[in-house]
Amino acid sequence: MKVRDYLAIAQKNIRRQKVRSSLTIIAMAISATILVTLTAISLGMQQAVKNILNIDNSLTSVIVTPNKATAGSLFGGAQKISNSENKLDELSVEKIKNIENVSTVAPATHIWEFHSFVIEGSDEAFATQAQGIVTNEATQRPLAAGEFFQPDDERRVVIIGYTYAKELGFGDVPQMLVGKKLTVTTQNGYIGEGASLPRMNATEQELKQFAQTPTKLEATIIGVTQRGSDENTLFIPMHWARQVRAHHSRQGSVIKTDDQITKDGYTHLYAKVDASQHVQQVMDGVDDMGFGATSTLAQLNQLMQVSTIIWVGLGAVSLIALIAASLGVVNTMLMSVTEQRYAIGVWRACGARRLTIAQLFLAEACLLGLCGGVIGVGLSFIVAQLVNRQIALLLTAQNLAIVDVVSMPWWLLFGGVGLTVLFGAVSGLYPAYRAAKQDPSAILAQN
């Protein structure tokens, strides 16, 4: 017999017992839908997170902090202060540069002095998360619009995060923000560059009023970041950051300036690693020096592990459902064998081999699995499209980047069908064996 003959007979048997076969196929389809959909969600979430985090090539960056974290968990950890009072200064920068596989290092500092800012043409004020950075390969990143800082940039310019552009209605045309003026409001009592210090012999009331008064600083927007890990950040050149973080005070008729960055050190460093496989090695080197080190790649790997554990748990539940559906195939096939005892006897009496009988019933079991798998994968594909569409609407409403959280690679579609066929085949082994062992003489004698 040819393969099409086996399939034709199997199809005829399935149509003959429509209700029982339909219920079995539905059970297989539901199990396949759950398994394929959960796998697709796991794959999609992992890829979406990886794509978002790697927009600015942060997977090859290590962030160095003055003190080690007590725990390197997925959501970070508390930092303990080292007894050696580590400080990230120029000497530290050179030490980090000398670690093998580090291509360059860029100092950075948080600008605690900034409170909020407004952009020309808008009355909306945004809370400021600002950083002053040195411009080199470690901080260079693609922009949605505009240009990056020049090396040793002394201009009073800023690069704003994409989130702000989106909030202002420039998400699709961020280049419209380039060249606009940005006004920063400092914290009350600001004593950095641009501040109006109290006069000599100021009264207590004047000092109190100064402590409650912010300063306005103006800058020009030269760029907008892409969506990614920095989309909520305001960047300024390190030269301006030093001026902002300098503390001015009157001593007699002279104004004294204290460079707080030189005094306290940088808040963190960006170390650029030549390849992602060397990130952990660089982090270990930083740790040996007594500094703290975090990386997007390490956190991503932990996230992937958590995702995998969740998928394994949900996958196990799906497999149990698939096994239960397979038991339905066994039941359907055993009933089919019982109902076709006379036909089996006739086939055997006409010279059909035991192997041929077994193959007939195996073909029927595989066809049940194939039908269930195709329906299940089709439903999974529809569910994926619906979920991605709804998530896209939700992300758009929240001004976030649109990503597909359900990924349907071709191998998953074919794998889902193949798995149901495999389970169908395994489920049909025992019924096929029983059918092949039938004694034709005993069957025909009873009829």
Residue 205 lies inside a defined structural domain of this protein: yes
pLDDT above 80 for 395: no
Say whether both 318 and 260 belong to one domain. Answer: no
Tokens standing for residue 428: 């049909």
Say whether both 147 and 205 belong to one domain. Answer: yes
Residue 141 lies inside a defined structural domain of this protein: yes
Q: Which of 214, 247, 266 is the last residue of a domain?
A: 266
Q: Which of 266, 290, 316 is the last residue of a domain?
A: 266
pLDDT above 70 for 402: no
Residue 287 lies inside a defined structural domain of this protein: no
CA torsion, ordered 367, 372, 378, 382, to nearest 10 deg: 170
pLDDT above 70 for 315: yes
Say whether both 211 and 314 belong to one domain. Answer: no
296-339 vs 341-349: helix crossing angle, rounded to 10: 80
Say whether both 232 and 379 belong to one domain. Answer: no
Say whether both 141 and 235 belong to one domain. Answer: yes
Residue with tokens 């006004």: 183
Give the domain range for residue 402: 3-53+302-446
Residue 420 lies inside a defined structural domain of this protein: yes
Residue 142 lies inside a defined structural domain of this protein: yes
Residue 350 lies inside a defined structural domain of this protein: yes
pLDDT at 182: 95
Say whether both 308 and 192 belong to one domain. Answer: no
Say whether both 259 and 361 belong to one domain. Answer: no
Residue 273 lies inside a defined structural domain of this protein: no
pLDDT at 400: 55
pLDDT above 50 for 70: no
Residue 100 lies inside a defined structural domain of this protein: no
Say whether both 248 and 309 belong to one domain. Answer: no
Q: Which of 245, 266, 287 is the last residue of a domain?
A: 266
Say whether both 127 and 176 belong to one domain. Answer: yes
Residues 331-386: tens digit of each pLDDT:
888 888 888 888 878 887 777 788 888 888 898 889 999 999 999 999 999 988 88
Of 194-208, 250-264, 313-327, 376-390, give the range with the top mean pLDDT. Answer: 376-390
Residues 207-245: tens digit of each pLDDT:
788 888 899 999 999 999 987 777 889 999 999 999 999
Helix%, strand%, coil% for the chain, nearest 5: 55, 20, 30
Say whether both 239 and 354 belong to one domain. Answer: no
**161 φ, ψ to 5°?**
-75, 155
Say whether both 117 and 258 belong to one domain. Answer: yes
Give the count of domains, the chain. 2
Measured on CA atoms in the order 390, 394, 399, 404, is the torsion positive or negative?
A: negative
Say whether both 307 and 425 belong to one domain. Answer: yes
